[in-house]
Amino acid sequence: MSKVQKGFRPYLGLTFLIGFGFFTMGLMDPLYDTYVPVFLGRYIPSMGIVGAVMTLDNIFALFLIPLVAVWSDKIRTPIGRRMPFILVTLPLTALSFAWLPYAAAVSLAALVAGIFLLNIWKQAARGPVVALMPDIVPGEFRSEANGVINTMGGIASIVGTLGLARLMDLDIVLPVLGPTKGRLPFPIAGALVVVAVALLFAFVRERGAGEAAAERRVPLRESLAAIAGGPDKSALLILASLFLWFLGYQGVLPFIGKYSIEVLGVSQGRAAFAAGMVGIAYALFAIPSGYVAHRIGRRRAIRIALAALTVLVSLLFFLDPLASALGLSGMPKVYLFWGILFLFGLFWVTVVTNSFPMLWQMSRYGTVGIYTGLYYTFSQGAAILSPPLTGGLIDLAGYRGIFAFCAVCMAAAFAVMGFVRAGEPERASAGTEAGA
């Protein structure tokens, strides 16, 4: 029985291995976002300046991810084209991350240098790591595979916030690491990244050097022309859509904690529950969303999800009259808010899980990296642009403005996705297609 006949099952273990790389990188993100502003605040009183430093990851991602991903498209080595980048950049990422709390104890210059180096290595690693999965998994099964990887990332976020973060209070002295208070999660996460690299190198095999060398290296200009000038412009339309949905998502995400405290009146300890509801739903539904899209089609699954997201964010805009109509106030109103965000997470992960595979389906072996890079160019561009826009909306119209903004963005993305005509798996040739 062929692998295609067996379905996704033969690729499941390999996908979990690749996903473990995402899991360990995902551990770093919540720790970085939560504690690096605290480290910076020891030296910098202005939160505006702290915020500017914290945007370095988005700025580096905007340029480095596509640059290195395209570079890895053109590399041919005996161990593959992604693995050389992974073996260099991920260990350096781990070392830089582990060093951050120690740098913070030395000086502001050491801390900023550590942040700078971490973001260079981390964003340089992301493109080759993400492109590794579509290099190995046939196009028909990439939604399921991306669901597995997104599940690993969602679990990592939960473990990082509810598990490792609690070790910040542990006050003991360890060999090599020294005093652990306010430091320990960082070297632990760094060590796990190194373990993930070892597992990837030991068990994940890219195409052989001879087979890869036979593939034509596609010039960058030719790749961009194909994306922008295809007969139906589907790749360009998907990129435009994902810019819109990330514009909406990133416009709300940074502010729901403050909204919870200042409008709903929850405590600081419960302020993170709002984002946690999205994260839990994300982890639970990432794999099922891939299977759903396999059955009904990726484009249809994404459009249904975008329509649902538009409705759910509109409900958040009308949360006060909705709660009043249901006779809810105080904590019951907060539970309603969390419930809507949980549903938001279910549909959001459907969009994220299936959009990448649609782009990869349009690629060939020699262009997977550039499609991966462009995904991050558009998503990170939205992440940089959106928070200042919605922050201004809050100043002008209050917090409800960000929900209206998000609803408009999701509805616009739904409309644009209606014109997409490519990106579905060619099931008759899933194992041999150019993009497999």
Backbone angles phi, psi at 174, to 5 degrees: -115, 150
CB 386, CB 247: distance < 8 Å = yes
Residue 241 in this model has a pLDDT that exceeds 90? yes
Q: Indicate whether 304 and 341 sit together in one domain.
A: yes
CB 245, CB 313: distance < 8 Å = no
Q: Indicate whether 34 and 67 sit together in one domain.
A: yes
Residue 432 in this model has a pLDDT that exceeds 70? no
Q: Indicate whether 209 and 226 sit together in one domain.
A: no
Q: Mean pLDDT across the stretch 405-416?
A: 96
Encoded tokens for 289: 């969303």
In this prediction, residue 308 has a pLDDT band, given cuts at 50, 70 and 90, of very high
Q: Which residues contact 174 (CB under 8 A, 6 or more apart)?
A: 180, 184
pLDDT at 424: 84
Q: Is 33 part of a structural domain of the chain?
A: yes
CB 60, CB 120: distance < 8 Å = yes
pLDDT at 210: 43
Q: Environment class of residue 140 by beta-carbon count within 10 Å: exposed (0-12), middle (13-18) or buried (19+)?
A: buried
- pLDDT one-digit tens code per residue, 72-90: 877 878 888 888 999 999 9
Strands (E), 148-215: 173-174, 178-179
Q: Is 430 part of a structural domain of the chain?
A: no
Q: 37-41, 338-342, 377-381: which has the highest mean pLDDT?
A: 338-342
pLDDT at 2: 45
Q: Indicate whether 304 and 344 sit together in one domain.
A: yes
Residue 214 in this model has a pLDDT that exceeds 90? no
Task: Record the pTM.
Answer: 0.75
- Annotate 46-78 with DSSP letters as a single string: -HHHHHHHHTHHHHHHHHHHHHHHHHHHH---T
Sequence-ordered alpha helix ranges (H) in 297-426: 298-317, 319-325, 331-361, 368-397, 400-417
Q: Which amino acid is at 331?
A: M
In this prediction, residue 158 has a pLDDT band, given cuts at 50, 70 and 90, of confident
Last residue of a domain, one of 180, 215, 250: 215
Tell me which of 112 and 54 has the higher pLDDT.
112
Percentage of the residues of the chain whose pLDDT score is greater than 90: 25
Domain span at residue 249? 216-421
Q: Is 364 part of a structural domain of the chain?
A: yes
Q: Indicate whether 23 and 106 sit together in one domain.
A: yes
Last residue of a domain, one of 200, 215, 230: 215
pLDDT at 412: 97
CB 160, CB 301: distance < 8 Å = no
Q: Is 34 part of a structural domain of the chain?
A: yes
pLDDT at 232: 62
CB 44, CB 50: distance < 8 Å = yes
Strands (E), 55-209: 173-174, 178-179
pLDDT at 6: 65
Q: Indicate whether 287 and 318 sit together in one domain.
A: yes
Q: Mean pLDDT across the stretch 167-187?
A: 77
Q: Is 431 part of a structural domain of the chain?
A: no
Q: Indicate whether 204 and 226 sit together in one domain.
A: no
Residue 417 in this model has a pLDDT that exceeds 90? yes
pLDDT at 113: 93
Q: Mean pLDDT across the stretch 288-312?
A: 93
pLDDT at 212: 47
Q: Mean pLDDT across the stretch 259-287?
A: 80
Encoded tokens for 183: 């430091």
Q: Indicate whether 89 and 236 sit together in one domain.
A: no
Q: Indicate whether 197 and 269 sit together in one domain.
A: no
In this prediction, residue 215 has a pLDDT band, given cuts at 50, 70 and 90, of low
Q: Indicate whether 269 and 209 sit together in one domain.
A: no
CATH number at residue 351: 1.20.1250.20
Q: Is 436 part of a structural domain of the chain?
A: no
CB 411, CB 166: distance < 8 Å = no
- pLDDT one-digit tens code per residue, 327-369: 888 788 889 999 999 999 999 999 999 988 888 788 766 677 7
Q: Indicate whether 7 and 138 sit together in one domain.
A: yes
Backbone angles phi, psi at 71, to 5 degrees: -60, -45
Last residue of a domain, one of 173, 199, 215: 215
Tell me which of 404 and 29 has the higher pLDDT.
404
Q: Which amino acid is at 88?
A: V
Q: How many domains does the chain have?
A: 2
- pLDDT one-digit tens code per residue, 320-338: 888 888 888 878 888 999 9
Q: Is 429 part of a structural domain of the chain?
A: no
Q: Is 296 part of a structural domain of the chain?
A: yes
pLDDT at 170: 76
- Of 158-162, 202-206, 286-290, the one with minimum mean pLDDT is 158-162
Q: Indicate whether 290 and 300 sit together in one domain.
A: yes
